[in-house]
Chain A
């Protein structure tokens, strides 16, 4: 059975070190969280995430962390995406189909303008520490 070898791991690490920026400025990074629970998956969050990843791969300068979580508390609006861009309000977008994900990358992450028609909420109070939502 083929298995990941140490040599392959080393190669992966070398490739990764060339492309991954140092994390010293993590507070300036963009943080995205996508709801990937049952309702998110059923609503197409997998396709949304795949599109989001391929869009973000075109913009390595953005240094984005994409986290997957269960639900963001807005199951009626799945797929949902929380966007934290330094200097901008924390936004939860809803009904984020793949084409909307592309728009969010271009308009919110790059042009720093909100995508008004898909704003649903700030984070639900039970999933964030008190005061962390701006």
Chain B
């Protein structure tokens, strides 16, 4: 079972890569306790029937998992959203790509902790293959004053600076950089109670 929202983001963004996407956008925004997650890709997309099947925990795309016939990535997230009064939108078109938007109340008692976003950002940058991944973070710590902070990192920037991200030395630097970016975001009052 996925324990944190970060686990789910990692899983779903990886699904995009497995769907043949070479461009994946991941945005995680926080406004007080509302967390908005958007994952979009230019992968092979799904038609209406496949979209419905993707929400079925006992379905996986034929041939995707040799020896296994269930896929759980999207259902895990939908189940969490539904049990916490959140909402989600799934748009997809064959040959164009897929866009998933989720809004979830991090303060709800049944919402999993958000987890370590810097850690999964680094992991998302380090899958094998030639793809672009844009990772965007935004946080509005004080909505009345409109104080917003955030950062944006592209995989191509990290590769330009660090070369092959598979090597431990490069991965470590990428992780350190993303951690530093994440640490610069303005903290929110009372966030420790639900953040980790």
Interface set, chain A 60-78, CB cutoff 8 A to B: 60, 62-71, 73, 75
Residues on A with C-beta less than 8 A from B148 are 1
The total of Cβ contacts below 8 Å across the A-B interface reads: 123
Q: Could you jot down 9 A-B contacts, CB within 8 Å? A: A20-B170, A36-B123, A37-B11, A42-B1, A57-B172, A67-B126, A68-B126, A69-B128, A70-B14
**Which B residues are CB-close (under 8 A) to A128?**
none
Cα of A38 to Cα of B168 in the assembled complex, Å: 23
Q: Which residue of the partner chain, among A1, A3, A65, contacts B164 with CB atoms under 8 Å?
A: A65
- Please, how many residues of chain A have a CB less than 8 angstroms from a CB on the other chain? 42
B162 adjacent to A1 (CB under 8 Å)? no
Query: Do most interface residues of chain A lie in helix, strand or loop, or is the interface mixed?
Result: helix
Choose from B14, B73, B150 the contact partner of A1 (Cβ within 8 Å). B150
- Let me know if B80 is at the binding interface, CB within 8 A: no
Question: Interface residues, chain A, CB within 8 Å of chain B?
Answer: 1-4, 8-10, 12-13, 15-16, 19-21, 23, 36-39, 41-42, 46, 49-50, 53, 56-57, 60, 62-71, 73, 75, 124, 126
Q: How far is the CA of A25 from the CA of B28 in the complex (A)?
A: 40
Determine whether the beta carbon of B10 is less than 8 Å from that of A41.
Answer: yes
In the complex, the answer to whether A4 meets B166 with C-beta atoms within 8 Å is no
- A13 to B184 Cα, complex, angstroms: 21
**Of B38-46, B64-72, B96-104, which binds chain A?**
B64-72
